[in-house]
Structure 1
Amino acid sequence: MAAAARPPGDRPTLRDVAGRAGVSAMTVTRVLRDDPRVSPATREKVLAGISELGYRPNTVARSLRLGRGSGLVGLVVTNLANPFYSRLALGVDSVVGQQGLKTVIGNTRQDLDNERELVADLVGRRVDGIVVVPASGDQRHLAAAVDAGVPVVCASRPPVGFDADHVLVDDFGGARNATARLLAAGHRRVGFLGPPAAVYTSEERLRGYREALAAAGVRADERHVRQGQQDVEAAMNAASELLALAEPPTALFCSNNRNTIGAFRAVTAAGQDVALAGFDDFELADVLGLPLTVQAYDSDELGSEAGRLLIDRMRPTGPAPPPRRVVLPTRAVHYGGWPRPRGTA
């Protein structure tokens, strides 16, 4: 018999299934638990009722009644439009999924208030743990989550004001190496493009850029530095400003993939012979048609490592270790050769 129409949003209950199958609610529960004491005939009636009604068990509520967690892990990131975060999410999910956990993703848009609300909501939903890319240095809400018994792991940016496991990339060393290669190719006017200065990764990569200039005896020119660009369009506009200067940079170091793509568009539009170096690899980098090198790393592994640290905190097998810090190395990937700086033979 076809199931009766139900009002929109009215989900069938366990008692509805019991009534359809002509058994008790406890018998339905036993079927869901695969209890061997249930006869095959009864099991078949219950499963038929579940199928006809479209019943889905509320696993979160069941886990809470049993004194367990929700079976959910929160992942809080700053910019879902950036492919880096999709790879990070895949890495986290691949690890926690092996433990029977589901990943819930929240996007803060680099806004601290959004992050506070997301974290409070996740804690209220009794998630088993949280992996977060912090939006700022004000992380009191993350410390409060830890105090509430929810393990927190920071990814890409370190914890501030409290202790927590965290996974970072060698932002300083990678930026220094990328800038040093531009300088070794003969460039002396090297520009910098990056996201807001308050972002840890941006500051570390700017520090690496400046360190490479200082080591080469090149004076840093603040007119060649642009920070604050979080999307491709803003990066393209910032790069266009640099290229329009009376003495424009002959090379640009871009501290994330959004800025690299924006710089590429600006250089192409200007028709200028400008070398590009970036941080973060990205799809189609090899077919852009301009010389480019990027500092690459495995963003999936960044997420996987964060997931492993979180699982260790959630399901310890021994005494709790002190907070751990993992730093992933970067490597240079070249797409084409370097153009020579202007004025060279």
Structure 2
Amino acid sequence: MPGPHAARGGQPTLRDVAERAGVSAMTASRVLRDDPQVLPATRERVRAAAAELGYRPNEVARSLRLGRGTGLVGLVVTNLANPFYSRLALGVDSVVARDGLKTVIGNTGQDPDAERTLVADLVARRVDGIIAVPAGTDQRHLAQAAADGVPVVLASRPPEGFAADCVLVDDFGGARDATERLLDRGHRRIGFLGSPPAVHTGTERLRGFTAALASAGLTAEPRHIRQGQTEPHQATRAAAEILALPDPPTALFCSNNRNTIGAFRAIRSSGTDIALAGFDDFELADALGLALTLVAYDSDELGRAAGRLLLDRLHDPRRTARQIVVPTSLVEYGG
């Protein structure tokens, strides 16, 4: 006869399994922990009862009773709509899963307050570690999590105000190389579409862009620069504003895939013939019918590197913080 929880239609308990099998709760627990000392007939009876009731052990509670973590890794990202973050998550999960850990993802929407709340919630839930793409430069909540004993690894942006493992992309070098490619093709008026100024990647990519111009004896024109776009529709509007100027640029460099997609739409709508370059390769870039130079890198490797850094930190909490930089390359698509 089913136990009280099963009879009410709730989640069956270990006691329900024990009653169904006709054994004590301790014996049922020993069976489900694969204790070899339990008699085979008893083991079969308990397992059959668990299967009939649909019993699933609470692994989190069991781990905490044994003094272990929850077996969960928190991945904090800023924009789940961006395919970059899905690749990052796949890379993280492919590595931590080998250690029996599972990845839970939280989205902050580029909101520092939401990030603080999410990190606090992950710490309260006793995750084994946190991999975060910070929304801004105020990282005191991440520093506090690390001080409280939760290993923290940063991805795509470096730590501010505390020591932590991090994995970055060569943002400066990639942007400089793409801008130099446009300069080599004769462009002297080049516009820039980028992320909010507080975002490390956008700042570094703007720095690489302006450094390439400076090396060619040029200065970035403020009226040709727009920052703050996080979604394609915002980038489309920003690009349209630049293209409508009396002296529009002959080329645009975009600091991420969302801005590149938005700029492409503006170029197509305007009917202008303008060169386009951007950071982040993306699906269907080769099918746009436009000459396109993209800065490519392995976003899965960014996640894998972050996962490896976290596992190393879990196995050796006292080791020196490390920084890994993922290299970039240029990819050309013909129009």
Shift of 1:41: 1.8
Per the normalisation by structure 2, the TM-score is: 0.97
What is the alpha-carbon distance in structure 2 between the residues aligned to residue 193 and residue 119 of structure 1?
A: 30
The answer to whether the aligner puts 1:335 opposite 2:333 as a matched pair is yes
Shift of 1:315: 1.4
- For 1:235, the equivalent position in structure 2 comes to 235
Alignment check: 8 A CA contact 2:232 2:259 kept: yes
What is the alpha-carbon distance in structure 2 between the residues aligned to residue 24 and residue 237 of structure 1?
A: 69
Cα deviation per residue 1:226-256 (whole Å; 9 max; x = unaligned)? 0110011111111111111111111000000
What is the alpha-carbon distance in structure 1 between the residues aligned to residue 249 and residue 6 of structure 2?
A: 68
Cα deviation per residue 1:120-162 (whole Å; 9 max; x = unaligned)? 1111111111000011110000111011100000000000000
Shift of 1:34: 1.0
SS in 1 for 2:277: strand
- For 2:50, the equivalent position in structure 1 comes to 50
Once the two structures are overlaid, the 10-residue window that deviates more, 328-337 or 136-145, is 328-337
- For 2:322, the equivalent position in structure 1 comes to 324
Shift of 1:324: 0.4
- For 1:130, the equivalent position in structure 2 comes to 130
- For 2:295, the equivalent position in structure 1 comes to 295
Shift of 1:39: 2.0
- For 1:341, the equivalent position in structure 2 comes to none
Cα deviation per residue 1:163-193 (whole Å; 9 max; x = unaligned)? 0000000001110110111111011110100
In the alignment, structure 2 segments of 5+ residues that lack a partner are: none
Shift of 1:2: 9.0
The answer to whether the aligner puts 1:180 opposite 2:180 as a matched pair is yes
SS in 2 for 1:130: strand
What is the alpha-carbon distance in structure 2 between the residues aligned to residue 14 and residue 242 of structure 1?
A: 66
SS in 2 for 1:98: helix
Distance change in 2, residues 1:263/1:28 (3 Å): same
Alignment check: 8 A CA contact 1:2 1:52 kept: no
Once the two structures are overlaid, the 10-residue window that deviates more, 27-36 or 169-178, is 27-36
Per the normalisation by structure 1, the TM-score is: 0.94
Cα deviation per residue 1:176-211 (whole Å; 9 max; x = unaligned)? 110111111011110100110110000000011111
Alignment check: 8 A CA contact 1:157 1:168 kept: yes
- For 1:272, the equivalent position in structure 2 comes to 272
In the alignment, structure 1 segments of 5+ residues that lack a partner are: 338-345
What is the alpha-carbon distance in structure 1 between the residues aligned to residue 103 and residue 282 of structure 2?
A: 24
What is the alpha-carbon distance in structure 2 between the residues aligned to residue 297 and residue 222 of structure 1?
A: 29
Cα deviation per residue 1:295-339 (whole Å; 9 max; x = unaligned)? 0000000000000000001112xx8321101111100001016xx
Cα deviation per residue 1:4-36 (whole Å; 9 max; x = unaligned)? 97556x311111111111111111111111111
Alignment check: 8 A CA contact 2:2 2:20 kept: no
SS in 2 for 1:123: helix
SS in 2 for 1:252: strand
What is the alpha-carbon distance in structure 2 between the residues aligned to residue 112 and residue 161 of structure 1?
A: 16
What is the alpha-carbon distance in structure 2 between the residues aligned to residue 23 and residue 103 of structure 1?
A: 36
What is the alpha-carbon distance in structure 1 between the residues aligned to residue 118 and residue 238 of structure 2?
A: 31
Alignment check: 8 A CA contact 2:2 2:19 kept: no
What is the alpha-carbon distance in structure 2 between the residues aligned to residue 7 and residue 264 of structure 1?
A: 58
Following superposition of structure 1 onto structure 2, how do residues 1-345 of structure 1 map, counting pairs within 5 Å?
Answer: 7=8, 10-316=10-316, 320-336=318-334
What is the alpha-carbon distance in structure 1 between the residues aligned to residue 129 and residue 206 of structure 2?
A: 32
What is the alpha-carbon distance in structure 2 between the residues aligned to residue 320 and residue 140 of structure 1?
A: 20
SS in 2 for 1:106: strand
Once the two structures are overlaid, the 10-residue window that deviates more, 303-312 or 12-21, is 12-21
Q: For this pair of structures, how many residues does the alignment match?
A: 334
What is the alpha-carbon distance in structure 2 between the residues aligned to residue 2 and residue 62 of structure 1?
A: 23
Structure 1's consecutive aligned runs of 4 or more residues displaced over 2 angstroms after TM superposition are: 1-8
Identity of aligned residues (%): 71
Alignment check: 8 A CA contact 2:175 2:208 kept: yes
Q: Which amino acid aligns with 2:328?
A: T
Cα RMSD after superposing both structures: 1.5
- For 1:340, the equivalent position in structure 2 comes to none
Shift of 1:219: 2.3
What is the alpha-carbon distance in structure 1 between the residues aligned to residue 282 and residue 295 of structure 2?
A: 11
